[in-house]
Amino acid sequence: MRLGSAVLVLIVILFNPVTSFALESGVQIPDHNTLSRLENAPFKFGWVKFQYSWRDGSTQPIDTWAGRAKQAGYKVLVSVAKKPSSVPTGEAGYSQFQAFMQDLSSRLGTNADAYEIWNEPNLKDEWRDWGEINPQEYYDYPA
């Protein structure tokens, strides 16, 4: 676990205190076709994570992937990453991201149990279309 991930988890716990929780296992998979291979795995997962590229959103059938995973009994985490280069930085970009997420979440409905906003925001490569790593900008981003 990277330090940035640990800090993010700690922040989530501090702002969303729970009285009890069960630790569940999960796996990131590239598409819904991998689900059938999970059935024969020597261990069982409760969650599957699909990374959904904002940049390539129109070419990824996330609706199908999430729907099939839910039908197979998994909880679904959708990781949203990779800003299109045409989207500006700052407030205008935030507004476009908000509209994108509203559309995505209304399309997926109950087929998505959770969303991860921005894959690995502590790594420079994930900031390539936004500039330098900036914790304050990440904090402001999904607001």
Say whether pLDDT at 110 is over 80: yes
- For 37-56, give the DSSP string: HHTTSSS--SEEEEEEESTT
pTM beyond 0.75: the answer is no
Determine phi and psi for 12, rounding to 5 degrees. Answer: -60, -45
Say whether pLDDT at 17 is over 80: no
* Residue 85: both structure tokens together: 């280069």
In DSSP terms, 114 is beta-bridged to 77
Q: What percent of the chain has pLDDT over 90?
A: 13
* Each residue's pLDDT tens digit, 115-136: 988 777 777 776 666 667 667 7
Q: What is the mean pLDDT of residues 74-80?
A: 90
- Average pLDDT taken over every residue of the chain: 75
